[in-house]
Amino acid sequence: MNISYMVRAAACLVCFLSAPAQADIMIASTRAIYPAQDREITVKLTNTQKTSPRLVQTWIDDGGADKPPEQIDVPFAITPPIFRMDAGKSQSLRIVYTKEDGLHKTLPADKESVFWLNVFSVPPTEKGAEEESGVRFAFRTRIKLFFRPENLPGRVEDSARNLQWTLMKDGADATLEVHNPGAYHVSFASVAVALDGKEIATESKQMLAPGATERLVLKSLSAAPGAKTEVRFETIDDLGYTVPHTAKDVVMTAGGRD
């Protein structure tokens, strides 16, 4: 069976099965960083199954998770795109930025761009079984791929501490606004407002793009913000580690903001 066809046919199922903890093909990292000055980067995959091989397809998308690979246009080439992985074996993916081919739009030079690396795996059909009669579970793992231009202002390590926070209270409603003035994406693991020692969680966005502003809804805020108000949040760094932060310079406004 054509594996691209299986990607389309299993699109809905894959959305529920694309958790790294369940996947049989494991990616060595939770994100990939592509420095613009590098000719290529590599990402390591491992088949964690002890006895079964897997048929694997890899591709990169620009945020359209449901698009089949043949309908995606991104300035990257990935090899190998389709291959077999035996049980317990590893495979390195080679990713190349292809702006030089003149077929794709050049990416911004003053900020990061984000894409997603997809790894789709299918188990083999058992011998003697008809392909149509068997049930096979296909898994897709999807991680972020950050394209990082040279000479960006500031340091990626400082991105979290440079975020600008505004707490807006309008009657019983409260919203936490966060602005990213930097050139790097900021990925959140959690965001909460600490009010007089009590933490109030937000419905946090997973990632904030360079120059973007988002409003995070607070689940509850019964007391009025005071001098002891601060934002406690966790971000995910280039290595996939969770890093805690505290923002004490929180701007507070009343009556909301248009």
Domain ranges within the chain, ordered by starting residue? 3-148, 156-254
**pLDDT at position 95, please?**
98
pLDDT mean over 111-121: 96
The answer, yes or no, to whether residue 15 has pLDDT greater than 50, is no
Place of tokens 């590893």: 90
Tens of pLDDT, residues 50-101: 888 999 999 999 998 888 888 899 999 999 999 999 999 999 999 999 986 6
Quote the mean pLDDT of the chain: 84
C-alpha 145/C-alpha 136 separation (Å) is 29
Question: Which of 61-70, 224-233, 239-248 has the lowest average pLDDT?
Answer: 224-233
pLDDT beyond 90 at 169: no
Domain 156-254 CATH (choose: 2.40.50.140, 3.40.50.410, 3.40.50.300, 2.60.40.10) = 2.60.40.10
pTM of the predicted structure, to 2 decimals = 0.83
Given this model, what pLDDT does residue 102 score?
61
Q: Which residue has the tokens 């109030």?
A: 200
- Residue 16: what pLDDT? 38
Give yes or no for residue 21 having a pLDDT over 50: no
Q: Let me know the angle formed at the C-alpha of 72 by 150 and 91, rounded to the nearest 5 degrees.
A: 70
Task: Over range 134-158, report the average pLDDT.
Answer: 89
200 vs 20: CA distance, rounded Å: 29
- Given this model, what pLDDT does residue 201 score? 86
- Reply yes or no on whether the pLDDT at 30 is more than 50: yes
Q: Which amino acid is at 228?
A: K
Domains 3-148 and 156-254 agree in fold: yes
| CATH for the stretch 3-148 | 2.60.40.10
